[in-house]
Chains A and B, each alone.
Chain A
Amino acid sequence: DAKTTQPPSMDCAEGRAANLPCNHSTISGNEYVYWYRQIHSQGPQYIIHGLKNNETNEMASLIITEDRKSSTLILPHATLRDTAVYYCIVRLYQTGANNLFFGTGTRLTVIP
């Protein structure tokens, strides 16, 4: 699985968009980008995933560059409850159980 690089921490004002970057320059053609978050030692929570097209769901948007070497997770209107560690994970999509290998992530702090 390709390695990812994320900034260790970011701040965002409440109500503003939070844009969390991730570099995955060695990603291969059949690897997906997944985003999870972990709120204060709770179990990680799935947010979104994508291959090459931009994706949006009720939680967030995922923007993947055309060369797929980087991506950005966007939380459109950050709230205090979005304070968490956000993990960008690149993973091969394959039949069967798809284990996740977490890095150190980005600690997002939403400021009132």
Chain B
Amino acid sequence: EPEVTQTPSHQVTQMGQEVILRCVPISNHLYFYWYRQILGQKVEFLVSFYNNEISEKSEIFDDQFSVERPDGSNFTLKIRSTKLEDSAMYFCASSVPTTTGSSYEQYFGPGTRLTVT
């Protein structure tokens, strides 16, 4: 069964450093998402992406964050200057449009645990 993959599984970085989290969505999917989950808290939406542009973003997704689909397979989340509070599990997800252009089921990757020290 096709699945969303994410690398690395765990990233440790120092405060102020840039990090790039990578995701390979399912190949025929067209909608892409990033979510995060701070330890012990709920899963929070960050950003959605379609047709090479951001569809929607939350208040969390400020100027420190950016997303990119650099080629036909990868989808990346960049944090420009990490802060301690960026420590969290980051999940990538993708979905495929239905015949009406919407989507129901999102497939999530296993996550990247980001630790900022």
Contacts and interface: CB of A to CB of B under 8 A. Distances in A.
Contacts of A101: 45
Interface residues of A, number: 24
A102 B42 contact: yes
Interface residues of B, number: 31
Given A94-B102, A96-B55, A102-B43, A41 B48 contact: no
Contact of A99 (B37, B48, B100, B111): B48
B31 A43 contact: no
A46 B48 CA distance: 17
A24 to B, nearest CB: 17
B56 A99 contact: yes
Q: Main SS of the interface on chain B?
A: strand
Interface string B15-52: 00000000000000001110101000011110011100
8 contacts: A41-B89, A43-B4, A43-B111, A44-B93, A97-B55, A97-B56, A101-B45, A102-B43
